[in-house]
Amino acid sequence: MSSIALPAGSSLARQYLALTKPRVNLLIVFCAVIGMFMSVPGLVPLQPFLAGTVGITLVAGAAAAINCLVESHIDAKMARTAWRPLPSGTLTVRQTIVFSVLLGGLGMFILFAFVNALTAWLTFATFVGYAVIYTLVLKPLTPQNIVIGGASGAMPPVLGWAAVTNSAPPEAWVLFLIIFVWTPPHFWALALYRADDYARSGLPMLPVTHGQQFTQLHILLYTLLLVATSLLPTAVGLSGLWYMAAALVLGGRFVQLAWRLQRAYSEPLARQTFKYSIWYLAALFAALLIDHYLPQ
């Protein structure tokens, strides 16, 4: 292990944990678990639940570590990411590669051995989509990187569904579609108040390439599309009226924030919109779970 001195109050374990982007990973795993519960009418069998959750968590952490490795030179130029282990020098490239290989390899082994091959291959495809296609190709190439690359981030409920049923039916892809449409307004709200950071990094994020007003308008348009998309579970019979009511209330607040942001930009409002978007997705999927077990 490296002999590089770590910051006060830090530890090597915390540095490795930071590579996995634990806050992002937590939301990923939460959505995967919701997919597991939505896939069956009763309780989820214990083995696919435990093994699927662990395997998906490990592979997602490995993908995040590769993302940190590839973007370390970009992270070093941005105030919000300069503290990460690679740009700050607390972990080396070799340590990061070994960590990612071990984490991803263990996760794939668990999925193949204790879950099923479909989940393993879908998880591997998600890893490639995020760590390679999105990070290496799309992100530095096009301002639509978040839109196209959002497909990888939207996969967790499909992975969870496949872990329990060894299938990926249309209902699972409805959940995928919700996250896919949610990703642009979520990330563009962040990009708005971090536009200077992205400009320094050289990444072609929408506020940098097309300006603030264009981005604000597209946040609003995608939020409206998201509210419509969030009603699909009820439309296809996956959920009931209770979920639909919750989706409308949660979506209404999101639209209100996006509308205010479109009319008059301010950094506090952009921050509020970004933070709400995270809470929105967690609350929406929690509503799906509650509705799933309510008497219809």
Q: Between these two residues, 52 and 295, which has the higher pLDDT value?
A: 52
**Range with the lowest mean pLDDT among 20-34, 70-84, 267-281?**
70-84
* pLDDT above 60 (res 168): yes
Read off the pTM.
Answer: 0.91
For the segment 55-101, what is each residue's pLDDT rounded down to a tens digit?
Answer: 999 999 999 999 899 888 877 877 777 788 888 888 899 999 999 99
**Pairwise CA distance, residues 268 & 65, whole Å:** 30
Return the pLDDT at 255: 98
Return the pLDDT at 296: 64
For the segment 210-257, what is each residue's pLDDT rounded down to a tens digit?
Answer: 999 999 999 999 999 999 999 999 999 999 999 999 999 999 999 999
Section 267-286 average pLDDT: 97
**Pairwise CA distance, residues 257 & 138, whole Å:** 28
Q: Between these two residues, 182 and 296, which has the higher pLDDT value?
A: 182
Q: Mean pLDDT for the chain?
A: 91
Domain annotation for the chain: domains and CATH numbers: 11-168 (1.10.357.140), 169-296 (1.20.120)
Return the pLDDT at 130: 87
What is the percentage of the chain residues whose pLDDT exceeds 70?
Answer: 96
Section 170-174 average pLDDT: 97
**Range with the lowest mean pLDDT among 31-45, 146-160, 242-256, 281-295?**
146-160
Query: DSSP string of the chain?
Result: ---PPPPTT--HHHHHHHHT-HHHHHHHHHHHHHHHHHTSSSPPPHHHHHHHHHHHHHHHHHHHHHHHHHTHHHHTT-TTTTTSHHHHTSS-HHHHHHHHHHHHHHHHHHHHHHT-HHHHHHHHHHHHIIIIIIIIIIHHH-TTHHHHHHHHHT-HHHHHHHHHHS---HHHHHHHHHHHHHHHHHHHHHHHHTHHHHHHHT---HHHHH-HHHHHHHHHHHHHHHHHHHTHHHHTTSS-HHHHHHHHHHHHHHHHHHHHHHHS--HHHHHHHHHHHHHHHHHHHHHHHHHHHS--
